[in-house]
C-alpha cells in the first residue's frame, strides 16, 4: 500500500478521503488526494515520488476554502535559503523538506489545542 494512504487510514484526524488522481510506473508514482478532516477542513495532497525525485504539495484549507497553510517544493521563490522547500502561511516563508506524516502531526497538534 502507498504510504500516504496508510497514513490517512491510520490518522485520528481524517474523517474521509478521496483519490483524485493516481499514476504509477516502474520507478515512480503520482497521487492526488482530497482528505476531509474531523473539523471539516480539507487537506489536498499531491506527491510525485521516484527514485530521483520527491515533489510535494500539502494544502490545508478551512471549511470555507481559505488556505490555512501550504507546504510545497515547487522550484520558485529562489531567494529563500530553504529553496525549493517553502510554505505559504499565507506569506511565503522558509520550510524544510516535509512529508505527509509530519504534516498530519502538525495539523493534529493544532486541532488538539482547538478543543
**Scanning the structure block, which residue is given the C-alpha cell 474531523?**
38
Q: 42-61: per-residue pLDDT in tens? A: 999 999 999 999 999 999 99
Q: What are the domain boundaries of the chain?
A: 3-114
Local structure of 112: helix, strand or coil: helix
- Rounded (10°) CA dihedral 103, 104, 110, 114: 150
Which residues, at least 6 apart from 62, have a Cβ–Cβ distance to it below 8 Å? 41, 68
pLDDT value for 45:
98
pLDDT value for 115:
54
CA nearest to 75, candidates 92, 55, 93: 55
Q: Which residues pair with 88 in a beta bridge?
A: 70, 92
Average pLDDT value for residue range 32-48: 97
Measured CA to CA, the distance from residue 84 to residue 81 in angstroms comes to: 8
What's this model's pTM, rounded to 2 decimal places? 0.93
pLDDT value for 52:
93
Amino acid at each position: 500500500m502507498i504510504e500516504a494512504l496508510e497514513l490517512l487510514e491510520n490518522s485520528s484526524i481524517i474523517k474521509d478521503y478521496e483519490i483524485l488522481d493516481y499514476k504509477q510506473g516502474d520507478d515512480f508514482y503520482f497521487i492526488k488526494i482530497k482528505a476531509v478532516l474531523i473539523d471539516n477542513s480539507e487537506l489536498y495532497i499531491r506527491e510525485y515520488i521516484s527514485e530521483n525525485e520527491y515533489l510535494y504539495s500539502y494544502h490545508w484549507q478551512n471549511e470555507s476554502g481559505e488556505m490555512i497553510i501550504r507546504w510545497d517544493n515547487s522550484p520558485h521563490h529562489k531567494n529563500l535559503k530553504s529553496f525549493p522547500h517553502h510554505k505559504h502561511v499565507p506569506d511565503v516563508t522558509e520550510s524544510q523538506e516535509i512529508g505527509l506524516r509530519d504534516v498530519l502531526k502538525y495539523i493534529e497538534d493544532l486541532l488538539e489545542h482547538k478543543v
